[in-house]
Chain A
Amino acid sequence: MTRHLRVDGPNHDNRLDHMAQGVIGQPLNRLEGPLKVTGRATYAAEARPANMAYGVLVQASVPAGKVLEIGDAPGALAVIQDKRMIRYAAQGLDEKGPTSGPDRIEYMGQSIALVVAETFEAARHAAQNIVVRYKPEAVPVDPESVTPELPPKKQSAAGDVDKAMREAAFTLDQVWRTPSQMSAAMEPHAAIAEWDGDSVTIRAALQMLSSNRKQMADALGIRESKLRLLSPYVGGGFGSKLGINAEAVAAAIAAKELGRPVMVAMTRQQVFDLAHRRSETRQRIRLACDAAGRLNGIGHEVLVSNLPGSEFTEPVAQATPFTYQAAHRQVVHAVARIHRGCAGSVRAPGEAVGVTVFECAMDELAELAGIDPVELRLKNIPDVEPTTERPFSSHKLAEALREGAERFGWSGRRAPGQRLEGEWFIGMGMAAAVRVNMLQESRAKVTLVQDGTAIVETDMTDIGTGTYTILGQLAAEMLGLPTDRVEVRLGDTQFPPASGSGGSFGAASSGNSVFLACEEIRQQIAKAMGCDERDLTLQDGMARAGNVAKSLSELVDGTITGEGHLQPGKTEKSHRQATWGSHWAEVAVNRWTGEVRVRRMMGVFACGRVLNEKTARSQCLGGMTFGIGIALTEAMEHDPRDGHAVSRDLAEYHIPSHADVPSLDVHFLPERDAYVGPLQAKGLGELGICGAGAAVLNAIHNACGARVRDLPATPDKIIAGLEP
């Protein structure tokens, strides 16, 4: 039986707090950990079907135009050009395949063909040496060079920000820029396709199998029932594997044409060209406050870019409407249509750069108004969502700010440039963290077996987020089993369709579906026990009700199966849902070289119920480190002539390394959010990045006085901002 739930109202039951097994929330090791630390977990490119051929993508060397002719490839089995091959990756949750037709070029580096050979070495050689004739076209590649679109639905205004600026005691009006950024997951995109008659199985690096299946079936022109996707282990996603990409479509087409399995793995450089980039942004922020620091006007004007026709545009100001109160407010969202690689979701689309810049602006205003930055934020926390007047489902910003200040030793912060240790200026900075919260439809099946084991099945993915472990813990908690008695099977479209991993909604959405499936099983056990399900206690394989105790093996005849189906509902509209937190950083800035060392960093986060404190903490460490990268090192540079990605590998695009990151500190605020389903858990895969970079940038200012508004804050820019 399937238990459905649409989240239309609050749930104050706190059911998980009343279960007996005591494993939910515990910092347990990952269930799949032994496989990962011994190299036995198999990722996309790691199946070895017999007679497999190797494919390498061929990329366009002009920014736009038409492919006239593709030359021969000596040593190759085939050069595949097929009108179904796609020009760029699908966006997250798309239900159709992206634009196809690789003979039309929309950006430099686009995939235009696939070379297949017996060996990887032969395919690579042939692909690198193939001669392509083009009819190139001139296209704009600089977002500042075109008149941007102003999508009506993405603009908002209330009151008169100009007037608020004129009448304010203190105002700030500055422009920030952030460059294109990349997910740069460690596993490059790859796929292995194998046909059996008219059915195809594709093993690929994907985050959201149920929507990926729709996209892929549409792209290949086959029925969904003829397509199976496998992603049992995914080597990081961060948005880059939300939608299907060129390598998987090409592998499937080639495998059909050649009648044998084909593997296509992108090179690291191809990942930079073909995976979605986070759009560069230009952000003008205007703030107006009274003498006491109370905001009266907030303006956030944004310019982002994408290819013509691409619906996704980086939602930079997504959190601006509800983070701080002000009577007068305006969001302007402009989109430049240019021919750089396709822009899409990269970890925390919107807030990652929007909150980061806004929190830098708040730091500048605090200084102008002579108010402590923590105080300025505390003074401007709204009681309800501004403009809509919706209540918040929960709100922990003030607590996160106060607790963070206490734990970090904020009171020891001095005025800019006042703390010098040798040749290093030392400073502290902070920022608020905020990220919208959402659920996605998700299904799961749980089977309880007579021998006291259980199996969880859903096409959900674990991209490093801890899904295997938290779903196992949930089933163990609800069914009263030790976690080693629960097997979790993920990443296969033969299992019930799940939310997938994206938008921080994976744990809560798939977790609620497992919770519901287990409630269904509990119902059946209660029936066998002759009691109400609410009076049933399950622990260590035993069922208890009143003074009756029976082992599950007595109660289960063969197996009991329950299915769970979660849908988001009215609470998404009735309440503003978000996760909250605060970031804290202490940096050292070299007074001569401008080098920045992050000495300490701490985050305080509230994200509803924490399902596994160990994996949850790791998610936050990852987000905060992305913040260090945004602040200090990460920039994908585009060639001004043709828009192509210049810094397109890991030696040119600088993600933080071991030596860039100190031992980070993470604290969770206990929270139960009643409006996000019976699990009362919210997302946290992205909260850690939202604003983290601002804490670092604000600390740089506090250390040495430099304000860098053109990110990242590389030494050259810091030196330029130092007092002579």
Chain B
Amino acid sequence: MQITLHLNGTSHHLDVDPRTTLLDALRHHLGLTGTKKGCDHGQCGACTVLMDGRRINSCLTLACMVEDRDITTIEGLGTPGNLSPLQQQFLDHDGYQCGYCTPGQICSATGMLEEIAAGWPSHASDSLDAPFDLTHAEIAERMSGNLCRCAAYSNIVAAIRQAAQETRHEDAA
């Protein structure tokens, strides 16, 4: 079937099998392999992308369902020469090893910080009302949909806290 995806600010016309997931549309049809397939069942988070700014598992989303949405993948967040603040902190804190879960972690963290800014509480929050302390437990709870077998967890949380802090300072300035 013919579909149009709005991806990283550009529209793409595709001819795909109706069973094609958003993940496979990205990887198999558009050559955007930054979004990873770790389980294809919504269990690992490696395929996380942003849909209208919210994080979703692209493996659990059919491509034909998201035609009128804005999709952002890891390729849309930054480039090797122009890293996003989160990407830079992942690099500096060694928030990855093999790198396979990394695009999902970074997309997820990008969406997660927006959720915090929007005042959404988590299981680990002390109160249901914002603002929330960005403690290790708060970040770890909110990032638990993204598995990392190399277990860079300590470094990922440190990277996210640092990036969030710097963004807050920028906002204040």
Contacts and interface: CB of A to CB of B under 8 A. Distances in A.
Interface of A: 29-30, 32-43, 45-46, 48, 54, 119-122, 125, 183-188, 233-238, 265, 267-268, 463-466, 614-615, 617-619, 621-622, 624-626, 649-651, 655-659, 661-664
Interface string B119-139: 000001000000000001101
B134 to A, nearest CB: 13
A632 B28 CA distance: 38
Contacts of A649: 39, 41, 43
Nearest to A462: B98
B28 to A, nearest CB: 6
A465 B98 CA distance: 7
Contacts of A626: 151
Interface in B3-34: 17, 19-20, 24, 27-28, 31-34
A313 B139 CA distance: 41
A32 B96 CA distance: 11
B154 A650 contact: no
Nearest to B18: A121
A38 B100 contact: no
B31 A464 contact: no
Contacts of A39: 32-35, 73-75, 102-103
Interface residues of B, number: 64
A621 B149 contact: no
B1 to A, nearest CB: 12
Nearest to A37: B87
Nearest to A622: B151
Interface of B: 17, 19-20, 24, 27-28, 31-41, 43-44, 46, 73-75, 77-81, 83, 87, 90-92, 94, 96-103, 106, 124, 136-137, 139-141, 143-144, 146-158
Nearest to B151: A625
Contacts of A621: 151-155
A235 B33 contact: no
Nearest to A662: B136
Nearest to A652: B43
A619 B141 CA distance: 23
A188 B97 CA distance: 16
Contacts of A38: 34, 74-75, 77-80, 83, 87, 103
Contacts of B77: 38
Contact of B80 (A34, A238, A622, A661): A34
B97 to A, nearest CB: 3
B24 A37 contact: no
A188 B100 CA distance: 10
Which has the most chain B C-beta neighbours within 10 Å: A188, A614, A657, A658? A658
B61 to A, nearest CB: 15
16 contacts: A36-B99, A36-B102, A39-B75, A39-B102, A40-B79, A45-B27, A184-B149, A186-B46, A186-B100, A235-B99, A268-B43, A464-B98, A622-B150, A626-B151, A650-B39, A650-B43
A37 B96 contact: yes
Nearest to B99: A36
Nearest to B155: A618
B98 A185 contact: yes
Contacts of B24: 120-121
B9 to A, nearest CB: 16
Contact of B99 (A41, A125, A624): A41
Contacts of B154: 621, 661-664
Given A37-B106, A236-B149, A188 B99 contact: no
Which has the most chain A C-beta neighbours within 10 Å: B20, B33, B74? B33
A121 B155 contact: no
Which has the most chain B C-beta neighbours within 10 Å: A36, A54, A621? A36
